Amino acid sequence: MTNELIDPRGPRFTAAITTVVLAIALATGSWIPVAIQFIQFAFGGFISPKKAPYGLIYIKFVQPKLSKDFVGEAINGPRFAQKVGFLFATVALIGTAIGSNAVFTVAVAFALAAAFLNAAFNFCLGCEIYLRLIRARSGALQRA
Protein backbone atom coordinates (compact mmCIF):
# COMPACT_ATOMS: atom_id res chain seq x y z
CA MET A 1 0.00 0.00 0.00
CA THR A 2 1.27 3.44 -0.91
CA ASN A 3 0.74 6.81 0.75
CA GLU A 4 0.86 8.66 -2.58
CA LEU A 5 -1.82 11.34 -2.91
CA ILE A 6 -3.63 12.51 -6.02
CA ASP A 7 -5.92 15.39 -6.90
CA PRO A 8 -9.40 13.86 -6.38
CA ARG A 9 -10.75 15.90 -9.29
CA GLY A 10 -8.58 13.86 -11.68
CA PRO A 11 -10.43 10.55 -11.30
CA ARG A 12 -13.75 12.34 -11.76
CA PHE A 13 -12.45 13.94 -14.97
CA THR A 14 -11.20 10.62 -16.26
CA ALA A 15 -14.52 9.00 -15.34
CA ALA A 16 -16.28 11.57 -17.52
CA ILE A 17 -14.11 10.64 -20.51
CA THR A 18 -14.62 6.95 -19.72
CA THR A 19 -18.39 7.50 -19.63
CA VAL A 20 -18.32 8.98 -23.13
CA VAL A 21 -16.01 6.29 -24.53
CA LEU A 22 -18.04 3.43 -23.08
CA ALA A 23 -21.35 5.02 -24.12
CA ILE A 24 -20.02 5.12 -27.68
CA ALA A 25 -19.01 1.45 -27.39
CA LEU A 26 -22.42 0.48 -26.07
CA ALA A 27 -24.31 2.54 -28.68
CA THR A 28 -22.29 1.24 -31.61
CA GLY A 29 -21.46 -2.26 -30.40
CA SER A 30 -17.86 -1.58 -31.42
CA TRP A 31 -14.94 -3.14 -29.61
CA ILE A 32 -12.58 -0.30 -30.63
CA PRO A 33 -13.65 2.17 -27.90
CA VAL A 34 -13.40 -0.69 -25.40
CA ALA A 35 -9.84 -1.40 -26.56
CA ILE A 36 -8.98 2.28 -26.03
CA GLN A 37 -10.52 2.14 -22.57
CA PHE A 38 -8.69 -1.14 -21.88
CA ILE A 39 -5.39 0.72 -22.38
CA GLN A 40 -6.53 3.51 -20.03
CA PHE A 41 -7.55 1.00 -17.37
CA ALA A 42 -4.30 -0.97 -17.74
CA PHE A 43 -2.13 2.12 -17.19
CA GLY A 44 -4.37 3.45 -14.42
CA GLY A 45 -4.62 0.18 -12.56
CA PHE A 46 -1.18 -1.30 -12.95
CA ILE A 47 1.06 1.75 -13.27
CA SER A 48 -0.69 4.85 -11.90
CA PRO A 49 -3.87 6.81 -12.61
CA LYS A 50 -1.59 9.84 -13.02
CA LYS A 51 0.37 8.08 -15.79
CA ALA A 52 -2.69 6.82 -17.67
CA PRO A 53 -3.64 8.67 -20.87
CA TYR A 54 -6.67 10.48 -19.42
CA GLY A 55 -4.73 11.27 -16.25
CA LEU A 56 -1.98 12.88 -18.31
CA ILE A 57 -4.58 14.99 -20.14
CA TYR A 58 -5.97 16.09 -16.78
CA ILE A 59 -2.55 16.95 -15.34
CA LYS A 60 -1.33 18.81 -18.44
CA PHE A 61 -4.43 20.67 -19.61
CA VAL A 62 -7.13 20.74 -16.90
CA GLN A 63 -5.46 20.84 -13.50
CA PRO A 64 -3.41 24.00 -14.24
CA LYS A 65 -6.68 25.89 -14.85
CA LEU A 66 -8.21 24.80 -11.53
CA SER A 67 -7.71 26.06 -8.00
CA LYS A 68 -4.59 24.73 -6.34
CA ASP A 69 -6.61 24.31 -3.14
CA PHE A 70 -7.66 20.69 -2.81
CA VAL A 71 -7.27 17.93 -0.28
CA GLY A 72 -5.33 15.04 -1.76
CA GLU A 73 -6.78 11.56 -1.74
CA ALA A 74 -4.92 8.28 -1.46
CA ILE A 75 -4.19 6.76 -4.84
CA ASN A 76 -5.06 3.21 -3.74
CA GLY A 77 -8.84 3.40 -4.23
CA PRO A 78 -8.69 4.95 -7.71
CA ARG A 79 -5.97 2.48 -8.73
CA PHE A 80 -8.15 -0.43 -7.57
CA ALA A 81 -11.13 1.05 -9.43
CA GLN A 82 -9.04 1.13 -12.61
CA LYS A 83 -8.18 -2.55 -12.09
CA VAL A 84 -11.88 -3.37 -11.80
CA GLY A 85 -12.49 -1.41 -15.00
CA PHE A 86 -9.65 -3.36 -16.63
CA LEU A 87 -11.41 -6.58 -15.67
CA PHE A 88 -14.69 -5.43 -17.24
CA ALA A 89 -12.93 -4.23 -20.40
CA THR A 90 -11.15 -7.59 -20.63
CA VAL A 91 -14.45 -9.46 -20.32
CA ALA A 92 -16.01 -7.20 -22.98
CA LEU A 93 -13.14 -7.85 -25.37
CA ILE A 94 -13.35 -11.58 -24.72
CA GLY A 95 -17.08 -11.36 -25.43
CA THR A 96 -16.27 -9.78 -28.78
CA ALA A 97 -13.62 -12.41 -29.54
CA ILE A 98 -16.01 -15.30 -28.87
CA GLY A 99 -18.88 -13.59 -30.68
CA SER A 100 -21.05 -13.03 -27.61
CA ASN A 101 -22.83 -9.69 -27.86
CA ALA A 102 -24.49 -10.35 -24.51
CA VAL A 103 -21.16 -10.69 -22.67
CA PHE A 104 -19.85 -7.58 -24.43
CA THR A 105 -22.96 -5.55 -23.64
CA VAL A 106 -23.20 -6.54 -19.97
CA ALA A 107 -19.50 -5.93 -19.29
CA VAL A 108 -19.53 -2.54 -21.01
CA ALA A 109 -22.79 -1.57 -19.28
CA PHE A 110 -21.38 -2.36 -15.82
CA ALA A 111 -18.21 -0.37 -16.47
CA LEU A 112 -20.26 2.48 -17.93
CA ALA A 113 -22.55 2.57 -14.89
CA ALA A 114 -19.58 2.76 -12.52
CA ALA A 115 -17.90 5.50 -14.58
CA PHE A 116 -21.13 7.49 -14.76
CA LEU A 117 -21.60 7.31 -10.98
CA ASN A 118 -18.14 8.80 -10.52
CA ALA A 119 -18.47 11.44 -13.24
CA ALA A 120 -21.98 12.60 -12.34
CA PHE A 121 -22.15 12.09 -8.59
CA ASN A 122 -18.52 11.85 -7.47
CA PHE A 123 -19.22 8.33 -6.21
CA CYS A 124 -16.38 5.97 -7.04
CA LEU A 125 -17.83 2.48 -6.82
CA GLY A 126 -14.43 0.81 -7.19
CA CYS A 127 -13.03 3.03 -4.42
CA GLU A 128 -15.90 2.05 -2.12
CA ILE A 129 -15.34 -1.64 -2.84
CA TYR A 130 -11.63 -1.14 -2.12
CA LEU A 131 -12.37 0.52 1.24
CA ARG A 132 -14.79 -2.23 2.24
CA LEU A 133 -12.24 -4.91 1.35
CA ILE A 134 -9.59 -3.14 3.45
CA ARG A 135 -11.98 -2.85 6.39
CA ALA A 136 -12.99 -6.50 6.10
CA ARG A 137 -9.37 -7.56 5.91
CA SER A 138 -8.32 -5.50 8.92
CA GLY A 139 -11.33 -6.82 10.88
CA ALA A 140 -10.35 -10.39 10.03
CA LEU A 141 -6.78 -9.72 11.10
CA GLN A 142 -7.93 -8.27 14.43
CA ARG A 143 -10.06 -11.35 15.12
CA ALA A 144 -7.18 -13.71 14.32
* pLDDT per position as a tens digit, 52-78: 999 999 999 999 999 999 999 999 999
> 139 pLDDT exceeds 90?
no
pLDDT given for residue 98 in this prediction: 98
Q: For the beta carbon of residue 110, count every other beta carbon within 10 angstroms.
A: 18
pLDDT, tens only, 77-93: 999 999 999 999 999 99
Q: What is the pTM of this model?
A: 0.93
Count of CB atoms situated within 10 Å of the CB of 109: 15
pLDDT beyond 80 at 6: yes
